[in-house]
């Protein structure tokens, strides 16, 4: 009976793996395939993608910059915020936490126009920094929720022992708790990276110069070929190019990501 359950489990996992990998493998094959009817394989689609517009390296660099700034702002803000909400008692703590989580109930598309006006007032319109700050704001509710639960999963005795040894609140965070909440930090960083790397609507609204476009916006402009027909070859090449960093990063951080969900996010 045990062997049957084990075989069924692995069979189900294999079937799900095939189900999820098939679209990716089809996209990879199609990106290497020549024009319809030729049946040849090559890198022509990737060459066309490389030279499109301001150039693929420019779009990749813009996307990487936005993603890294978003991750940095989100991780720092949610780590400090989660530590404060989980370990300190102050008036309005629960209200502040609930107000931050309430952002999740507001569709992002409904606040893009007010954010557009605000960024213009701050002089950050058509700026990658401004776009990064907007995307970081979108990630704050989930990140704060994750980090608060990650800190609450650690015993308070760790803080008390560090305080007795002479550490202040900042020292407790730096020298004792950060290592314990590392899975939660990695999970927040991974979610922030994937969301900002693949974000399309916000860059489309806030960025107007071609040399500042992120990769999703560039691929949207690339999709129209002659006479309005979709040129699938270069488009799928862009899809594969955009997916590779996400897949590699997920595989690299998978251990911490799973541990973060099991240890922190499901506590409550």
Q: What is the pLDDT along the chain (268 residues), one digit of tens a residue?
A: 667 778 777 888 888 888 888 888 888 888 887 665 455 567 888 888 888 888 889 999 999 999 999 999 999 999 999 998 888 888 888 888 888 888 888 888 888 888 989 998 988 889 999 999 999 999 999 899 889 888 888 888 888 888 887 788 888 888 888 888 888 898 899 999 999 999 999 999 999 898 999 999 988 887 755 556 677 788 888 888 898 888 888 888 777 765 655 554 444 4
Query: What's the rounded Cα separation, in Å, for the pair 81 and 78?
Result: 5
How high is the pLDDT of residue 72?
A: 96
The confidence score (pLDDT) of residue 192 equals 93
Task: Quote the Cα angle for 73-79-81, to 5°.
Answer: 95
Phi-psi group of 227: left, alpha or beta (phi > 0 → left; psi -120 to 50 → alpha; rest → beta): left
Q: What is the pLDDT of residue 249?
A: 87
CB 203 within 8 A of CB 216: yes
| pTM for this entry | 0.85
| Residue 257 C-beta-side C-alpha neighbours within 13 Å | 12
Asked if 264 and 190 touch (Cβ cutoff 8 Å), the reply is no
Burial class (CB in 10 A: 0-12, 13-18, 19+), 245: middle
- Residues in a beta bridge with 224: 230
């Amino acid at each position: 009976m045990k062997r049957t359950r084990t075989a069924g489990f692995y069979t189900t996992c294999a079937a799900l793996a095939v189900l999820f990998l098939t679209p990716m493998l089809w996209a990879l094959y199609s990106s290497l395939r020549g024009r319809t009817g030729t049946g040849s394989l090559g890198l022509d689609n990737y060459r066309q993608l490389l030279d499109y517009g301001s150039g693929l390296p420019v779009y990749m660099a813009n996307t990487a910059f936005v993603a890294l700034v978003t991750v940095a702002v989100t991780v720092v803000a949610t780590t400090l915020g989660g530590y404060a909400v989980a370990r300190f008692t102050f008036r309005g703590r629960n209200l502040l936490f609930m107000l931050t989580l309430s952002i999740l109930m507001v569709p992002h598309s409904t606040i893009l126009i007010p954010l557009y006006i605000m960024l213009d007032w701050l002089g950050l319109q058509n700026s990658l920094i401004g776009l990064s700050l907007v995307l970081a704001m979108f990630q704050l509710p989930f990140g704060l929720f994750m980090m608060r639960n990650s800190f609450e999963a650690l015993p308070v005795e760790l803080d008390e022992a560090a305080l007795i040894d002479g550490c202040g609140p900042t020292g407790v965070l730096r020298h004792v708790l950060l290592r314990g909440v590392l899975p939660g930090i990695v999970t927040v960083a991974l979610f922030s990276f994937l969301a900002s790397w693949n974000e399309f609507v916000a860059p489309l609204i806030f960025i107007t110069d071609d040399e500042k476009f992120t990769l999703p916006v560039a691929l949207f402009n690339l999709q129209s070929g002659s006479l309005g027909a979709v040129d699938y070859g270069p488009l799928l090449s862009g899809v594969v190019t955009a997916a590779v960093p996400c897949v590699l990063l997920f595989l690299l951080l998978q251990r911490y990501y799973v541990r973060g969900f099991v240890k922190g996010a499901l506590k409550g």
